[in-house]
Amino acid sequence: MKGSLIVLLFFMAGCILGVLDIIPLDLQKSNLSMYILYALMLQVGLSIGSSKDLKSIVKDIRPKYLLIPLATIIGTLLFSAFASLLLSQWSIFDCLAVGSGFAYYSLSSILITQFKEASLGIQLATELGTIALLSNIFREMMALLGTPLLVKYFGKLAPISAAGVNSMDVVLPIITRYSGKDMIPVAIFHGILIDLTVPFFVSFFCRL
């Protein structure tokens, strides 16, 4: 929750700096966002590769648990496609790109803004990136706050799927509390797999 609020504050600060034209225009139009993206991808790789429990997590995973990230992906994309029926301004592929963030708000928002700038223009691309940022932050918050209800009404796997990529980090403590410690390897494995799919799905739908 705290991390999400910090991200929102930085986003609002960026908007204010942009409106006031404090940051030079040349810097805004540079490839700075791509370098930030590269840094994020490096951080993801380091965090996964440096995990001391990675081998034991992989050993404890049963093949049937592969269905959980698959269900997360299918369910998210279906609801994203349905949302496009209510949002006439954005195409179904735009909505699918936003949904493909799977709660990874920092990476998905940068990717969408970068990829859609050529086809939509900087203003609309930034709007879509902002939608991706906020919707994926809200998904994380809903998973954090709604885990007790999700477990009660839909079972102990529900918060893992709802959390998206954050099932392996931010939402993991509350998943452990309500779903049980036996779900820790499943949640981490789910988060890692979903994490790896984000760049591919987002870039794919942005190019359609």
The secondary element (H helix, E strand) that includes residue 7 is helix 2-19
The secondary element (H helix, E strand) that includes residue 92 is helix 92-99
Q: What is the pLDDT of residues 119-178, one digit of tens each?
A: 898 899 999 999 999 999 899 889 988 999 999 999 999 999 999 999 988 888 889 889
Domain locations in the chain as residue ranges: 34-206
Looking from the CA of 43 toward its CB, the CA atoms found within 13 Å total: 8
**CA-CA distance, 135 to 183, in Å (whole number)?**
26
**CA-CA distance, 136 to 69, in Å (whole number)?**
17
Summary mean pLDDT of the chain: 82
Q: What is the pLDDT of residues 8-24, one digit of tens each?
A: 676 677 667 666 666 55
Task: Give the pLDDT score at 176.
Answer: 87
**CA-CA distance, 52 to 70, in Å (whole number)?**
26
Which of 37-46, 62-71, 104-113, 148-157 shows the lowest mean pLDDT across its residues? 37-46
The whole model's pTM is what? Answer: 0.77
Average pLDDT, integer, range 91-117: 92
Percent of the chain predicted with pLDDT > 90: 38
**CA-CA distance, 124 to 132, in Å (whole number)?**
12
Task: Give the pLDDT score at 29.
Answer: 47
Looking from the CA of 182 toward its CB, the CA atoms found within 13 Å total: 4
Q: How many CB atoms are located within 10 Å of the residue 48 CB?
A: 15
Tell me the two tokens of residue 125: 């691309």
